[in-house]
Structure 1
Amino acid sequence: MSNSKDKKDFIREIIAEDLTNGKHQTTITRFPPEPNGYLHIGHAKAICINFGIAEDNAGSGAVCHLRFDDTNPVKEDAAYVDAIKKDVAWLGFDWGENLYFASDYFEYFYDCAVHLIKQGNAYVDLQNVEEMRAGRGNVKTPGTDSPYRDSSVEENLTRFEQMKKGEFEVGGAVLRAKIDMAARNMNMRDPAIYRVLNIDHHKTGDAWNIYPMYDFAHPLEDAKEKVTHSLCSLEFEDHRPLYEWVVDHCPTAATPRQIEFSRLNLTYTIMSKRKLLQLVEEEVVDGWDDPRLPTLSGMRRRGYTPEAIKSFIQKVGVTKFNAITDVALLEFELRAHLNKIAERRMAVLDPLKIVIDNWDGDSVEEMECKNNPEDAEAGTRLVPLGKEVFIERDDFMEDPPKKYFRLGPGRAVRLRGGYIIQYVSHENDADGNVTEVHVEFIPGTVGQSPPEGVKCKAAIHWVSAAHAVDAEVRLYDRLFTEENPDGFEGGYMACWNPDSLEVKTTAKLEPSLGVAAAGTTFQFERVGYFCSDSEQHISGQKAVFNRTVGLRDSWAKK
């Protein structure tokens, strides 16, 4: 994201102005994920903005903190912490020594809450959830004061201490900020800032029975770490007055500025961790790293690259208005990057056997093939060719139309990187399916034009039958059939794509793919980009590949 300095977005303009006028000597941002699920492509935008701004201003000592907002142990897990660290590092960002947890500040939060009580700015409410909800009113009707709103400081301190000791059941008491029950902004109508959970925490164990609400803890964390610019998505714009109220009314050492930007929304995609968790728990997908999910772990397993994701996010830009971006733009950036870096290989997903009748018995020749025509330094590789080869079934037709240039009766075609072959005959089974095609190769045509009288207008990929590696190839597609799954009538689960995964169990690969390292992306020539599965592919033993993206947008006309 460093080249974003060439054209500043509105956030970078604000930061540049703050540095120029001396409001800040440096810049401190933070990426504050809640460890209650895996990160997805939407989080990648926030990561790139926060860490990217720190990189842009590294000369002034700018840093970005990685901070886990772990204030709700009901939904959090240490495994999520590890997964988030892995994803941020995979995108190419380094938090260095600046790793923090909200749970590191639990004593500080508690002291701030006591401070508010003593100042008459907070009170313990013993109403139940339904009573408090009714008392808040709505956007047209002001709220009504809680019967506990005017309790004495001593009463509130006693009740808050009882909350801390676990003397209340879950939901039996909350600490509320005493602000304005008639405020037009609903977030300012005496919001809850502490609740009783009586549950162990993944970092602090059984030390606490009460936990701060996000809207209370978050500004205090920012202030504690002296964050200069607290960058968040637009849905927190209405929370900004509460953010500023907390900072102003608690003993803090800094005054961060909250700035909101539009979140990333993609077509055919859901971005809610709650909904993604439902897909995982109901086994609609195979875990958080299922290659169909927009999670960074799923995208990594599918073969996406950090470079493509960051390039895409830069093109989307940083704005103040919500929009839905076509996922095809992300796929375009991915293709553009993989076209430059992915080595070419040959793989046949739906094999049809070809017998070269005039081939000399069991002899084998090695064809020299380019690893990547886009990269002159990628070199070449040798691919074995023998008497029998596999080609794609749809590269042969018994009765081809006029503009079909591949193999068929009376036709010739080139084996990519090898000889031109001419049709001789073919065999069918009892159902009329083609089972085998016989051809003859034309000597002297490797790298050469066809001889006079032979028409050859196409080259097809192939794999030597004697050297082929058996593989499982998974063809992943979009998980939803509708552009806006969240807005689909009947809900997002009603437009789940039953064809989002097709498994090819009879695929044949050229030998080099069998010994490829797990997690390596290739272009299968004429087919698409594929990645050796990071979990199940075992080099030299078991070949499993996932389709990353097709060579073109197959959904363009849908």
Structure 2
Amino acid sequence: MSDERSLNFIEEIIEEDIRNGKHGGRVHTRFPPEPNGYLHIGHAKAICLSFGLALKYNGKTNLRFDDTNPETEETEYVESIKEDVKWLGFEWANEQYASNYFDQLYEFAVELIKKGLAYVDDGTPEEIAQQKGTPTEPGTNSPYRSRSIEENLRLFAEMKDGIYKDGEKVLRAKIDMSSPNMHMRDPLMYRIRHAHHHRTGDTWCIYPMYDFAHGQSDSIEEITHSLCTLEFVSHRELYDWFIEQLEIFPSKQYEFARLNITYTVMSKRKLLQLVNEGFVNGWDDPRMTTISGLRRRGFTPGSIRDFCDRIGVAKRENIIDVSLLEFCVREDLNKTAWRRMAVLDPIKLVITNYPEQREETLYGENNPEAEGGEGIREIPFSRELWIEREDFMENPAKKYFRLGPGLMVRLKHAYIVKCDDFVTDEAGNVTEVHCTYIPESKSGEDTSGIHVKGTIHWVSVPHAATAEIRLYDRLFRVEDPGNEERDFKEYINTESLQVLPKAFIEKDLTGAELGRGYQFIRKGYFTMDKDSAPGKLVFNRTVTLKDTWAKEVKKG
């Protein structure tokens, strides 16, 4: 986090707590995901906030898995979450699980029963929901609310021992059925689930509800600042009530605005729909807003941390333009990505006055934006080159500064060439462009005195390698697909993936590394995909060199 900006409201709270010596000036945060899916960019904001604050104030962060729902949680998700947090650049002080505390949480529940503050309810979910009342009308007491402490202790023990079926009984807190806060109207604490748990197996058949497990887990770990999103504001009263009644470590909850981004959906449920209904190819599809999808697409940890820092921490919901995220990755990759040439839609260029057997080695910096350029690469050059089809026009328009009959252009890192003629097939498609080169115009040694306005990239035909190129774009056509009246899936951008089966790339790219960003000169930023295999390279476009959507919006 940058120290140059003003403090956000959570930093102000922490600094005041430190000044007052609260918790001995200690800062201990936690990131508590439920392992029922893959993390997305919204989680990245929460990760950067909790871990970033602990780093700033010399504190600690726990990674705690909220694994209280055995039917939806899997070890696969636990491992993916750990990988994502590490990839973002953070290390947790302690790896914990809510299931670590099942014995302790059970004892907490027994204590509340003994205090007359919890009871076993036999009502159906529908009956309990009806008793809750409405936000404007008070609830009504359950007929089981007056059970004796002894009976509640016996029934709760029997729930634990597996005597009852799923849904037969629940444990509720006894608070206030007329409270204006619906969460305080005798909320559920435990439900029966005869389901195999990914860590505890079949040891338990009762599981704590989130509102009961969360605050108590924070307290057990002595978390000083429990950070969560705004939808939990109404839960805070209950969070505090449980801690106060149990007289345990007074963890405190603080809420911040969740992350909403244009052209995306951030709901885990909707992301799961996209996966299960085949709109995308898995949780790590590069069009997904999951961290694993962004990583596969070529986003960098630094760009995501920068994005989270730039959007800041607010108390009010707002929506962030996805262009800011794309700007951050461009900024980062511009400083780190190695430059290479790749021709995505090729036609052949033949230099007719270049000797047929001659080849030479040219040179280019790996990254001219980096100090020292990060080294020099060798670039083979020959008589026949691949160039982009869009870099040639049979009847050049005015101010067209690339190739066309009689026009001159510089070949990147090489020579100036002049177009003399071209060849077409039976359908009239251009198949070859014939040029002559100016020997005295070699880049870095140019004595020709000729000045041209255009520079194009190329790949030597005999030295080229081939690759499949996947051009990814935004998954949705509208800014707010999740909040429209129609089904969000109706707004999917059917052109969000374009596959180019055979592009030509510099042979150097056959040694590309997974996770490294490359700038394909004039085409955008790319990274090698995990589908790559020897002899079959696949590259994903991370982002274009410029914001092309802004132009489309202007056109529209």
- TM-score, normalised with respect to structure 1: 0.97
| Aligned counterpart, 1:376 | 371
Distance 2:57 2:15 in 1: 9
Distance 2:516 2:538 in 1: 11
SS of 1:444's partner is helix
Offset at 1:457? 1.2
* Partners of 2:477 and 2:493 within 8 A in 1: yes
Output aligned runs, 1:99-498, within 5 Å.
Answer: 99-252=95-248, 254-377=249-372, 378-447=374-443, 448-449=445-446, 451=448, 456-498=452-494
| Aligned counterpart, 1:542 | 536
Distance 1:345 1:366 in 2: 15
Matched, 1:64 2:61: yes
SS of 1:555's partner is helix
| Aligned counterpart, 1:21 | 20
Matched, 1:12 2:6: no
Q: Deviation per CA, 1:368-390, whole angstroms, max 9, x where unpaired?
A: 11211111321221111111110
Offset at 1:251? 4.8
> Which structure 2 segments of 5+ residues have no match?
none
Offset at 1:451? 3.5
Coordinate RMSD, CA, aligned: 1.2
Read off the aligned partner of 1:305 and give its amino acid letter: T
Read off the aligned partner of 1:552 and give its amino acid letter: K
Distance 1:144 1:307 in 2: 53
Offset at 1:140? 1.3
Offset at 1:413? 0.8
Distance 2:415 2:188 in 1: 75
Q: Deviation per CA, 1:338-360, whole angstroms, max 9, x where unpaired?
A: 11111100000001111111121
* Partners of 1:420 and 1:450 within 8 A in 2: no
Distance 1:147 1:431 in 2: 83
| Aligned counterpart, 1:502 | 498
Offset at 1:5? 6.9
Give the % identical residues: 53
SS of 2:549's partner is coil
Distance 1:489 1:157 in 2: 48
Offset at 1:4? 3.8
SS of 1:297's partner is helix
Greater mean deviation of Cα atoms: 505-514 or 443-452: 443-452
Distance 2:377 2:81 in 1: 38
* Partners of 2:411 and 2:455 within 8 A in 1: yes
SS of 1:432's partner is coil
Distance 1:75 1:362 in 2: 65
| Aligned counterpart, 1:85 | 82
Offset at 1:541? 3.1
Distance 1:188 1:482 in 2: 39
Distance 1:291 1:242 in 2: 39
Greater mean deviation of Cα atoms: 151-160 or 109-118: 151-160
Read off the aligned partner of 1:488 and give its amino acid letter: E
Distance 2:221 2:80 in 1: 23
* Partners of 1:423 and 1:438 within 8 A in 2: yes
Read off the aligned partner of 2:257 and give its amino acid letter: S
Count of aligned residue pairs for this structure pair: 549
SS of 1:358's partner is coil
Matched, 1:95 2:92: yes
Q: Deviation per CA, 1:429-482, whole angstroms, max 9, x where unpaired?
A: 121111111111111211255735x56211100001111111001000001111
| Aligned counterpart, 1:41 | 41
- TM-score, normalised with respect to structure 2: 0.97
Give 4+ residue runs of structure 1 displaced > 4 Å after superposition.
Answer: none
Distance 2:266 2:456 in 1: 40
- Structure 1 465/147 Cα, relative in aligned 2: closer, same or farther at 3 Å? same
Distance 2:356 2:77 in 1: 58
Distance 1:420 1:488 in 2: 53
SS of 2:502's partner is strand
* Partners of 2:440 and 2:446 within 8 A in 1: no
Output aligned runs, 1:517-532, within 5 Å.
Answer: 517-532=513-528
Distance 1:250 1:517 in 2: 54
* Partners of 1:519 and 1:532 within 8 A in 2: yes
SS of 2:526's partner is strand
> Which structure 1 segments of 5+ residues have no match?
none
Out of 512, 515, 525, the position equivalent to 2:511 is 515
* Partners of 1:529 and 1:547 within 8 A in 2: yes
Distance 2:388 2:12 in 1: 54
* Partners of 1:268 and 1:478 within 8 A in 2: yes
Offset at 1:69? 0.7
Distance 1:300 1:129 in 2: 41
SS of 1:404's partner is coil
